[in-house]
Every structure is written in structure tokens, then in C-alpha cells.
Structure 1
Amino acid sequence: MKITGVKIRRVHGTMATKGMFWEERLVRPIDIYPEYRDQGPFEGGEQVDGSHLKLVQDFVEIHTDEGVTGTAGPIWQDCSHLILTQLKSIIMGKDPLAIELLWDQMHRLQVHGRQGIPMVAISAIDCALWDLKGKAFNQPLWRILGGPTRESIPAYASMLGYAVLDLGKVRERALEYKEKGYKAQKWFIRHGPMAGHEGLRQNVALVRTLRETLGDDYDIMIDCWQSLNLDYAVDFCSRIEEFRPRWVEECFMPDRIDSHVKLKAKTSIPLSGAEHEYTRWGFKRFIEKDALDIYQPDIYWCGGLSETLKIAAYATVHDLITIPHGHSTPIGIHFSVTQSPIHTPYQEFLVKWNAINMHFLMNPLWPVKGDIHLPHAPGVDMDLDPAKIEREEEVRL
């Protein structure tokens, strides 16, 4: 089998929403500057009215001379351009089942692209190749990977985009998702250090409200999205320790590894992060310094499924937990159910981002009573639903 084509499909469609889809945004590192701190939600899609979100998404397809196709996405448009200009030529004519060879060649080609957009583009190609491999053998990907270790995995509801400053709505949503069967929830603080004492008070009030609403026997996680500095993080963690969060996530930008180490020495709360890190070499820096307790590589960013498997294997050597960043349920489940339950106890389910990222799929994979069950279709089951595509074009150079 040989690769005969690499195609980018740009699809347009409309997703129904109940009111404004994005209610609030998370804190961001750039919020230290006042002109950015007060900006509203900036996430995916265009809200055209109170009940419709316009979506434009790119999906990459890898075609072969035997009619087997692998798909990944959605991907950023900058990645689409890089795939067509730099990665397509190096994989054309190659064996699509030689995934390790193709990954190594793509990575070595990108000598100035060891992070960021180039690595995300490599990740998309890698994920599409794994989808293709499953289809070639007519097996779900988890079987190709040697699993499963279980029939389903608990999902935690990741509540990005929900209102966090209105504590009444926080209580309502937290109870709603507990009643849906989710075993845990992660919420995102809105304020960073430059929001002052009032912002800190509101962050702490969010954590207190979650614990009081959800009870003692329920995991809550708090995401800081790289936006704190060390003294603020120490203060924040000391104030919320009594509420026993399962972890506090991404307190600092990823290159501030020493800040992670110093915070870990000052708090009893487990620390998680590194979703914005890339490759096994990037994660090696964190693990060697014992900077985190839970590692969260993004399968679509860190180098693909191939690299996520290597990162997780290295983490288990140190008895560390790996729970990938969770906006890509269709491929994430294939990773999760092939890992030891003690090293991957949850799968993240970003509620709003999964609704967007699975909108165009023929068979979106939703949690059932808080559990994500292993799928049985060949590959990753990334076929697009023509009924949801209002318009489409192929992206060309």
C-alpha cells in the first residue's frame, strides 16, 4: 500500500445552540495587560444569533492506492497550509503503515518546528495514519494498540466556556453534570494576578462553591491555564487546600518548570499540566525535575498518538499519571482504554469543545452516564456526515 494523496477538506455548517454557546472564557497569560483582560469569550465558531453557531473546520485525509483513507481533525487552518507546503511531499508514495518511519522523517524535516504549529500539523498526519491503519486491518484502533484494559473509562466533565462568575449558575451546572453521571468536573478560573484581591476572592469562591455543591466524595479540578505567577499560585493553593481539589492544572506557562517545582514543594494539592508541551523530549524536562503529578499531553498537539504513547510509557516508569487533554474524544478513547487504569484513571471530556469538534462526524462519541465506552468501528471512526455539511471546498496551494 502506498500513499497517493493528502487532501484538506474545509467544511462549513451550523450547530444549534441553546442561547449563547460561549458564556465566559478562562483566564489567559496575556491578561496581565488590561486591554486584554476584559475581552469576552473568544473561542471557536461564530455566534450568528441566539441559537446558531457557524462552524468552518478543516479535516486532513490521507488516501492510498488500495482505497483505504485515514482522517484526522478538525485542525487549524495554519496547520492545513503547513501540511500542504511541507509535510505532504515527504509522505507521498510512502507506506502508510510505516508510521514510526514517517513520524521520524517529518520531525527531522521540521528543524525549526519542534513546537507549535509544525508539531500540531505532524500530530494531525500521525492521527490520520493511525486511523488508516485501523481501517486497513478492519479493526478498532484500540485493538491495534494491544488493548483494551477495560470496556469503558470514567469521563470528567471539563467545563470551559460556562459562566464562572455567577455562582448560582455554577451550582446549577455542577449539579446538572453530576446528575448526568460524570464522576468529576474541572472548572476554569477567570482571574489572574493582575485582577487583584477581588479576582483572587472570586477564584476561591468558585472552588468553595463547587465543593459545597458537589459534596465531599466527588473530584473537582481547577484549571489556571498558564496564567499565574509563583507567589499568586502559592497563595491561591493555600486558600483552596481545605476544599481538596483532585488537582490544580497549568499554573504557569510550560517553560517555567522551576516555578512548577517550587509550587509543588509548597502545596499538598497535586499539580497537573504540560498540555502545551510537545514530544517526549519536552515531557522529559518536567519528569526529570519531578515538576508535576499528572501529565496531560494533547494527542492532536504533542506529536500525535505515536508520541503520546511514548510520553505515557515514560511517565509510567516514574509511576506518574497520564490523562491527555480532552478535546478529541474519538482518538482519546483509543489511548485511554489501552492504558493501565491506575495510570490513566480518567478521560477528559471538554463539554463545549467536543460538541464543536465532533459536530461534522457521522458517529460522534458521547459519554453515557459519565462513561466513555470503547467503540467498535474500524480505525478512529472519523467519517464526516454529509447531512451536516452545508458547503465544502478542497484547500489547495
Structure 2
Amino acid sequence: MKITNIIPYPTWVAHRNQLIVKVETDEGIYGWGESGLSGREKAVVGAIEHYREWLIGKDAFNIGAIWQEMYRSQYFEGGRVLQAAISAIDIALHDIKGKALGVPVYELLGGKQRDHIPTFASTGISPSAEMIDQAKELKERGWNVIRFFPAQDTDGIFEPRESIAATVPWLIKAREELGDGVVLGIDYHHRLSVAETASFCQKMPSGTLDFLEEPIRDETPEAYESLRTMTDVPFAIGEEFASKWQFLPYIERGIHQYNRIDVCNVGGLTESMKVAGWSEAHYVDMMPHNPLGPICTAATIHFSAAVANFAWLETRASPAESYMGRGESPLFTEQPKLDGAVYKVPDTPGLGVDVDEEAIQAQSFKFWEAPHWKRRDGSVTNW
């Protein structure tokens, strides 16, 4: 079965773009993939177009060899743009192979280890009484893992210490109101420094949080090692990692407890399975990042079904958020659907997702830029 075409579709869905990728073959079987590099879709499209020139004619079943050739056959290997392109193509090839063999993708990954995929849900509002009400509703609907977001300024100004002061009391209140039976975490989206993160954690009683996600930037593992000595809160890190090599120091030095792996950024299912096995050897659990669309969700469901060291899968389709395009979307004719607080593992061949191609062709790409935040002194800070 030979690859005959690779078509990238940068498509506006709801409030931002998704980069959906179709791989076609000479037997009429096609596969869908997705890139995770949000906000830089045009760059990934360019990379895919470079790959397409020599991928046409390749055997679509040789997924591992194709991955190696995409990664190694250039001097400037790796990086987030190239890995996002590789991810989308790799996921689509798994979809093709599953369809051709008549098996779900997880069968290509070693078979399923669970029948349903537990998820964690997030509240959709800044720290407040309403945030706690949303968390209570999520608990009532079956979620026992809930993530919060910190206080942030809506005028494009973000001051870390002000955010900490406004967030901490509500997290303490949330633990009091929700009890010890619920796993609670917060995503600080790498907006803090080491010192600020330490202060944040030290302002709360031990046990308030069960995980702290991405408090600082990831470029320097030694900074996380330093922070590790200052707090006992488990770390969830890795959604922006673009290879197994970026995970290496975190896994082998015992810096974190949860891998926020993104199958659409790290190099697809091929690379994700390698990270999962490595993590299992070091007792690090997989907690996949999943903020994109149904293709990412479908691919991550199959990954989550196939690995032993799995914790929870992110969903952005809970009643508290329900972002169109992140959950169910009218652009997809087949897509994963939440069953309460879980995704059931499908038994359909391939990923179990399909796209209304005419609809996505009609959706024009729109330039979208992540917020450019500043501090009160005018300096640039992280979003």
C-alpha cells in the first residue's frame, strides 16, 4: 500500500485553528492526523509539504521506518515544527494501518489494557465561588480529578505575585468544600519563576494540591530540580516536549511524577509509546495533554488504552468548558464522545474518527495569535 498524497488542512474551528492532515493511499484507504503546534500552523504546513515530496510512493505500513527517515534524513533534525509535522503524519499512518488490517489502532500498540479511559476535567473560570460551584458540579457528574486555572488579568497584564495572592485562598477553599476524595490540580502554564512557585506552594497546607502543572518554563531541567527541593506537590510536565530526548532528564532524574505528553507534538504514537515505556521504568505516570480536536482525542484514547502507566486523559469537553472544536465538532462525522467522565475504548478499525472534508475545505484559515502578556512595568511575560 503506497502513499499517494498528504494534504494539510489548516482549518478555523470555533475560536482558533486546527491543523488536520490527511494521508491518502493507492488502495483508497486514507488516514487522519493532527498537529499540536497551535498558533504556528503555517510553519507546520510548510514542513509537511517538504515531507510530502519524498513520502509519496512509500509503503504506508512501514511506520517506524518512515518515522526514522522523517527525523534523521536532514541535518537540522527535530524541533517543535518538524515534530508537529511528523506527529500528524505518524498518527494518520496508524489510522491507515488499523483500517487496512481491520483493527483498532491500540491493537498496533500492543492491545488494550483498559476498557475505558478516565479523564480529568477543568473548571472554566478564574478562582472564585463560581469556580468551586463548577468543581462541585463536575464531581456530581462523575469526575474525581479536577483541574483549576490561576487568577489572571483580562487587560493583558499578568503579575505573578498578584495572581498567587488571588488564587491560593480559593484553592484552600476548594479542598475544604470538595473533600479529600477528589484529586485537585492547577495549571500555571509556565507563568511563574522558581521562587514564585515555591511561595505559591508554601502558602497552602500540604495536601491542598495533588499536582501542579507546568509552573515554570521547561528549557532548564536544573531549575525544576531546584524547585523539587522546595515543595512536596507532584509535578505534571511535558505538554510542549517534542521528543523522547526532551523527556530524558525529567524521567531519569526523578524530577516529575506525571508526563503531560502530547501525541500531536512529541512525534505521534510511535514516539509516545517509547516515552511511555521509559516512564514506566521510572514510575512516572502518563497524563496526556489533549486541548485540540477529535483526532488528537481519538489518537490519545488509543495510546491511553495501550499503556500500563496511565493516570488520566485531559478533556476540554466537560460541562464546565464544552469548547466546540475541542470536544464534539460538526466538522467531524465520527468522533470520540464522553460517556460521563470517561471515554470508552472503541472497537472500530483505525482511530474511529472521520472528517467532513467538504466542510473543512470551506472553513478558511484565520490568523490567530496567543495573548502577548506584559507585567505592570511594561516587560514581557509568559502566557
Report TM bin, short chain. 0.7 to 0.9
Q: Over residues 103-135 of structure 1, what are the superposed CA-to-partner deviations in whole Å (9 max), with x where a residue is unaligned?
A: 111111354352221111111111111111111
Higher mean alpha-carbon deviation, 138-147 vs 309-318, is at 138-147
Q: Which amino acid aligns with 1:174?
A: A
The within-5 A match list for 1:147-162 is 147-159=111-123, 162=124
Q: What's 1:347 paired with?
A: 313
Output the CA distance in 2 between the equivalents of 1:354 and 1:332: 18
Alpha-carbon shift at residue 182 of structure 1 (Å) = 1.5
Kindly report structure 1 stretches of 4+ aligned residues shifted beyond 4 Å. Answer: 10-13, 191-194, 386-390
| One of 246, 249, 268 as aligned partner of 2:210 | 246
| One of 34, 38, 51 as aligned partner of 1:73 | 34
| One of 340, 365, 369 as aligned partner of 1:369 | 340
The verdict on how the C-alpha distance between 1:152 and 1:198 changes in structure 2, with shifts beyond 3 A counting, is: same
The verdict on how the C-alpha distance between 1:373 and 1:354 changes in structure 2, with shifts beyond 3 A counting, is: farther
SS at match of 1:237: helix
The verdict on how the C-alpha distance between 1:135 and 1:393 changes in structure 2, with shifts beyond 3 A counting, is: farther
The verdict on how the C-alpha distance between 1:117 and 1:179 changes in structure 2, with shifts beyond 3 A counting, is: same
The within-5 A match list for 1:274-313 is 274-313=238-277
The 8 Å contact of residues 9 and 361 in structure 2, kept in 1 or not, is answered as no
TM-score by length of 1: 0.81
Output the CA distance in 2 between the equivalents of 1:72 and 1:289: 33
Higher mean alpha-carbon deviation, 355-364 vs 246-255, is at 355-364
Q: What's 1:36 paired with?
A: none
Determine if the alignment matches structure 1 residue 94 to structure 2 residue 94: no
Higher mean alpha-carbon deviation, 206-215 vs 216-225, is at 206-215
Output the CA distance in 1 between the equivalents of 2:35 and 2:158: 34
Q: Over residues 22-58 of structure 1, what are the superposed CA-to-partner deviations in whole Å (9 max), with x where a residue is unaligned?
A: xxxxxxxxxxxxxxxxxxxxxx33xxxxxxxxxx544
Q: Over residues 290-335 of structure 1, what are the superposed CA-to-partner deviations in whole Å (9 max), with x where a residue is unaligned?
A: 2211111110001111101000101111121122212332111101
Return 5+ residue gaps in structure 1 as ranges: 16-43, 46-55
The 8 Å contact of residues 116 and 345 in structure 2, kept in 1 or not, is answered as yes
Percentage of pairs with the same residue: 26
Return 5+ residue gaps in structure 2 as ranges: 366-383
Alpha-carbon shift at residue 228 of structure 1 (Å) = 1.2
Determine if the alignment matches structure 1 residue 330 to structure 2 residue 298: yes
Alpha-carbon shift at residue 238 of structure 1 (Å) = 1.3
Q: Which amino acid aligns with 2:90?
A: D
Q: Which amino acid aligns with 2:149?
A: F
The 8 Å contact of residues 35 and 87 in structure 2, kept in 1 or not, is answered as no
SS at match of 1:272: strand
Q: What's 2:5 paired with?
A: 5
The 8 Å contact of residues 222 and 249 in structure 1, kept in 2 or not, is answered as yes
Q: What's 1:49 paired with?
A: none
Higher mean alpha-carbon deviation, 62-71 vs 113-122, is at 113-122
SS at match of 2:355: coil
The 8 Å contact of residues 11 and 393 in structure 1, kept in 2 or not, is answered as yes
The verdict on how the C-alpha distance between 1:153 and 1:241 changes in structure 2, with shifts beyond 3 A counting, is: farther
Report the aligned-residue RMSD: 2.4
